[in-house]
Structure 1
Amino acid sequence: MTLAAFCAALADQLPANAIVTDPGDIAPWLTDWRGRWTGTSPLLLQPSTTEEVAVIVRAAEAHGVGLVPQGGNSSMVGGATPPADGSAVLLSLRRLNRLRSLDSDHAVAEAGVILDTLQQAAAGEGARFPLDLGARGSATVGGLAATNAGGTQVLRFGTMRAQVLGMESVLSGGLVHDSLGGLKKDNRGVSLDHLLIGAEGTLGIITALRLRLVPGAGQRGAAWVGVANPHHALALLRCLEAATDTIEGFELIPDVSLTRVLEHIPQTRAPLTTNAPWHVLIEAVTGAAEEPPQQLLERLLGESTDLLTDAVIAQSDAQTEALWRLRHSISEAERAAGPAAQHDISLPIDRVPGFLLDEARLIERRFPGTKASGYGHLGDGNVHFHVRAPAGAPPGWADSAEGKAVSAFVHDLVTAAGGSISAEHGIGQMKKDELARLAPPARMQALRAIKAAMDPHGVFNPGKLV
């Protein structure tokens, strides 16, 4: 009866195409990208304006119906999947997909604008949106803000939080918060924008963002480097940082991950002619009047030969893209290689090499038959740390008792090292219990108090984060 009344209330205020009840049309959006969570929802709402979102929020609060906001459905932690009991409805932001304004300095983009669309539009203005990740073709800017996404350019430009200059969002009561004017100084208390960034849709619905753009890449170059161990990789990073401020990407990759890409991803080949136990992908971007990045990388790597075993420098954008394809294909290749407990963690940068070597072996001894390895953004301490299941383990091993014990042990080690159990993917439903177990009491008290204050009816993305 509650759902029927909710639908009736919306039918009088929304266009017919904003309310989807056909199970066949809803089904593709009920399972997360990794295939680990599947929920149930009798209704898919797809508003095309902020006012329609406000109407939905008011009706949801009046009828006690939960709303699960969803963009590209590329969450890695089940953050955009509805609960299994059908107690909430999907709120798709994909039809809010307009670029309201765009110039060389900023863009005002609605929540459903796809990252790749924004990047291409910015390029047309001679600018760049300085955030990139493998899911650029499906991830939406609203989802990137809701999860404070990171990606491969955080080293130079910061996470999504650093790219947001203003926001439009719908809060409890259907009230619209609007800071799209982009004031550089505004000391009227706590920043509502910053509260919603990273809140995973649990405090309100982001409908539009004012985003900073940076000058377009005048010259772009990349190098693939073989190193003996992560300690040498970190030393190389420090040398490059001391010599230039043009390094935008510094990705650390174990040979086992590269091998999986070569085995499972068609039309890929090894960048180096010699074997190396670890690899680094480096990208430099320089202005038109500066030293060309290929020349810069050749010079700087030539000054650091004691830290590398081999290197190749891309001579064209096509070669650069081929190197990045290897990096962006790791997640797909890891999935194809079999079950694993996957962890998106961050550590103090100086502790990353030791963790990848010492703690990885500790985990393998604790759980015989497993193999632990990590790859990711060494420059910001973000490691995608995978513990592969023993031979013969079933596909759902990560959710088995042993798989959960592995993840708990990994999280214990990360916490002891002063790190975070979620670097860039968020908490969602995957890490909700672990957050409550490991987070400092002050953090949990604050998160719960903020949730209670900003979502008094409990309708925003129930069952996620806290």
Structure 2
Amino acid sequence: MTSAFLEAAARLLGPKGLTTDSHALAPWLTDWRGRYTGKALALASPASTAEVSALVRLCAEHQVPIVPQGGNSGMSGGATPFDSGTELLLSLRRMNAISSLDRAAQTVVCEAGVILQTLHETAAREGLRFPLSLGGKGSATIGGLVSTNAGGTQVLRHGSMRALVLGLQGVLADGSILDQLVPLKKDNRGFDLKQVLIGSEGTLGIVTAATLRLVPDIAGRCVMWAGCATLDDARALLVMAQDMAADLLEGFEVLPRHSLEAVLAYLPDARSPLAAPYEWHALIEFVAGDVSTAARLPEIAEHLLSQAFERGLIADATIAASEDQAERLWLIRETISPAERAIGPAMQHDISVPVEAMPAFVDAAVPRLEADWPGTTAVCFGHLGDGNVHFHVIAPPGADRAVWEAGDGKAISAQVHDMVTQWGGSISAEHGIGRLKRDELARLGDPVALSTMRAIKHALDPQGLLNPGKLV
């Protein structure tokens, strides 16, 4: 059966579309974080939606499981095959055409294999931008971003991928093509099926193309850095910024003193933005899409910081005087993860709670974990504006990574997820479930929601061939 399937797939896809060569497969068999390594029957790289459709029908006929993969930059192992060697790794990286860009409508239609950075560059040439960015923009694909409902630093203003997808095309488990690429502002013909596929991590269908929302390119931005005594003060500063300039506030990130010190030790030329040390830091960005508003940004920023200083919310602050200074401030934020990895092993959690509850949650969770697990350091940083922080628990000095992660680390993650659930939050804010959190979702998820998801999975994929063992 395997031989017959591979022969049929080779005829369908041609020499560029299918390979079993171990060297060609190797880069795609380990996830980005290096947590999982699997085996694959072959690597399929179709060149069109029609080929994806025919391939999926062939897989259904031969009962071959499919693992869809975008840029292989996911954080939860959702695009890595298991080690059985029976799964087909499906890459859409050859499907990388930007089909159309409508400047007036501010929309773009692109295939699933388009790289995020390529989309950014294409939109910029038309005076527009796609308002979603993340560290893996040089490898992340549109199909992967849609399938995982990716977030990033601009969710506060523009929403996650779910809010940016206006239309969608995908192939279902029986090979049929769901074509809803045409963006309609009003469409009341039953279920919004594109939203069912968004965030489903390839378990319900394979995204092959999307119509995306664009916004005017940046005419000007203003980036600020403020030092706060508490996370409560940072939260109050966020509320003030939203009240004062909600339509301009594009980013509001927070990081504790530990994270800043880790970055300063990690980056040779890095300097602290402020002269004195502070327990918490806020990175704030205002963005304007027109020249007249852009000219007023420094004035708006100065007014915000002046009012915050008078209310005692900040002790010191700085406004980037140039684009280079602005990039240097953002570089500090973007370097936190590698800087903390250099310190030692850590259990990393991508969690969210209601925005207004985040300061109280952090104040309760951090000391409890450090007390329960002596020698560990709990660190929270990230997107305070949308209630999502990255909650890292760093192992005691000298801990053996493999031993600690499999023992104490696993128990720590369960405790973090328990606390998040008790606070009404989510154990996955933007990184997805994949393999990493599948068992935890089953343990902590709402039973009604879980049973509904499983029913949908069974209805759309009765053979269980689409990304098995992931999400549900």
Q: CA deviation at 1:298?
A: 1.4
C-alpha distance in 1 between matches for 2:87 and 2:188 = 36
- Which residue of 369, 381, 384 corresponds with 2:375? 369
What's the counterpart of residue 297 of structure 1? Answer: 301
Are 1:37 and 2:33 matched, yes or no? no
Secondary structure of 2:191's counterpart equals coil
C-alpha distance in 2 between matches for 1:70 and 1:267 = 37
Secondary structure of 2:321's counterpart equals coil
- Which residue of 438, 442, 445 corresponds with 2:444? 438
C-alpha distance in 1 between matches for 2:459 and 2:122 = 38
C-alpha distance in 2 between matches for 1:80 and 1:292 = 45
Secondary structure of 2:238's counterpart equals helix
What's the counterpart of residue 132 of structure 1? Answer: 133
Secondary structure of 1:7's counterpart equals helix
Q: Are the aligned partners of 1:219 and 1:292 in contact in 2 as well (CA < 8 Å)?
A: no
What's the counterpart of residue 210 of structure 1? Answer: 211
C-alpha distance in 1 between matches for 2:135 and 2:315 = 28
> How many residues are aligned here?
465
What's the counterpart of residue 47 of structure 1? Answer: 46
* CA offsets 1:23-53 (integer angstroms, 9 cap, x no match): 0111011111111111111311111111111
What's the counterpart of residue 62 of structure 1? Answer: 61
Q: Are the aligned partners of 2:133 and 2:154 in contact in 1 as well (CA < 8 Å)?
A: yes
What's the counterpart of residue 89 of structure 1? Answer: 88
Q: CA deviation at 1:457?
A: 1.7
Are 1:192 and 2:193 matched, yes or no? yes
- Which residue of 255, 276, 279 corresponds with 1:274? 276
What's the counterpart of residue 115 of structure 1? Answer: 116
Matching of residues 410-421 of structure 1 within 5 Å: 410-421=416-427
Q: CA deviation at 1:221?
A: 1.1
Q: Are the aligned partners of 2:13 and 2:45 in contact in 1 as well (CA < 8 Å)?
A: no
Unaligned runs of 5+ in 1: none
Q: CA deviation at 1:311?
A: 0.9
Unaligned runs of 5+ in 2: none
Q: In the alignment, residue 416 of structure 2 is paired with which amino acid?
A: V
C-alpha distance in 1 between matches for 2:404 and 2:286 = 37
Q: CA deviation at 1:397?
A: 4.8
Matching of residues 70-85 of structure 1 within 5 Å: 70-85=69-84
What's the counterpart of residue 265 of structure 1? Answer: 267
Q: Are the aligned partners of 1:134 and 1:328 in contact in 2 as well (CA < 8 Å)?
A: yes
C-alpha distance in 1 between matches for 2:67 and 2:270 = 38
Q: In the alignment, residue 128 of structure 1 is paired with which amino acid?
A: R
Q: In the alignment, residue 274 of structure 2 is paired with which amino acid?
A: L
Are 1:154 and 2:160 matched, yes or no? no
Q: CA deviation at 1:103?
A: 2.6
Matching of residues 388-427 of structure 1 within 5 Å: 388-397=394-403, 399-427=405-433
* Identical positions, percent: 53
Q: Are the aligned partners of 1:427 and 1:464 in contact in 2 as well (CA < 8 Å)?
A: yes
C-alpha distance in 2 between matches for 1:27 and 1:399 = 25
Q: CA deviation at 1:266?
A: 4.1
C-alpha distance in 1 between matches for 2:404 and 2:171 = 36
Secondary structure of 2:189's counterpart equals coil
Q: CA deviation at 1:164?
A: 0.2
Secondary structure of 2:135's counterpart equals coil
Classify 1:173/1:355 alpha carbon distance in 2 versus 1 (closer, same or farther; 3 Å): same
Secondary structure of 2:369's counterpart equals helix
Q: CA deviation at 1:133?
A: 1.2
What's the counterpart of residue 362 of structure 2? Answer: 356
Q: CA deviation at 1:399?
A: 3.5
What's the counterpart of residue 458 of structure 1? Answer: 464
Q: Are the aligned partners of 2:12 and 2:55 in contact in 1 as well (CA < 8 Å)?
A: no
C-alpha distance in 2 between matches for 1:397 and 1:443 = 34
* CA offsets 1:240-282 (integer angstroms, 9 cap, x no match): 1111121100001111112222222343322222211111110
Q: Are the aligned partners of 1:10 and 1:55 in contact in 2 as well (CA < 8 Å)?
A: no
Classify 1:355/1:304 alpha carbon distance in 2 versus 1 (closer, same or farther; 3 Å): same
Q: Are the aligned partners of 1:224 and 1:323 in contact in 2 as well (CA < 8 Å)?
A: yes
Are 1:25 and 2:12 matched, yes or no? no
Q: CA deviation at 1:294?
A: 2.3
Q: In the alignment, residue 144 of structure 2 is paired with which amino acid?
A: G
Q: Are the aligned partners of 1:294 and 1:315 in contact in 2 as well (CA < 8 Å)?
A: no
C-alpha distance in 2 between matches for 1:23 and 1:337 = 34
Q: In the alignment, residue 455 of structure 1 is paired with which amino acid?
A: D
Classify 1:265/1:223 alpha carbon distance in 2 versus 1 (closer, same or farther; 3 Å): same
Q: CA deviation at 1:3?
A: 2.2
Secondary structure of 1:173's counterpart equals coil
- Which residue of 253, 256, 279 corresponds with 1:254? 256
C-alpha distance in 1 between matches for 2:195 and 2:456 = 12
C-alpha distance in 2 between matches for 1:421 and 1:268 = 33
Classify 1:247/1:98 alpha carbon distance in 2 versus 1 (closer, same or farther; 3 Å): same
C-alpha distance in 2 between matches for 1:443 and 1:427 = 15
Q: In the alignment, residue 307 of structure 1 is paired with which amino acid?
A: L
Q: In the alignment, residue 313 of structure 1 is paired with which amino acid?
A: I
Q: In the alignment, residue 288 of structure 1 is paired with which amino acid?
A: V
Q: CA deviation at 1:226?
A: 0.9
Secondary structure of 1:289's counterpart equals helix
Classify 1:19/1:266 alpha carbon distance in 2 versus 1 (closer, same or farther; 3 Å): farther
Q: CA deviation at 1:69?
A: 0.7
What's the counterpart of residue 343 of structure 1? Answer: 349
Are 1:288 and 2:286 matched, yes or no? no
Q: Are the aligned partners of 1:251 and 1:280 in contact in 2 as well (CA < 8 Å)?
A: yes
C-alpha distance in 2 between matches for 1:133 and 1:90 = 24
Are 1:201 and 2:202 matched, yes or no? yes
Secondary structure of 2:151's counterpart equals coil
Q: Are the aligned partners of 1:221 and 1:284 in contact in 2 as well (CA < 8 Å)?
A: yes
Q: In the alignment, residue 267 of structure 1 is paired with which amino acid?
A: D
Secondary structure of 1:451's counterpart equals helix
What's the counterpart of residue 142 of structure 2? Answer: 141
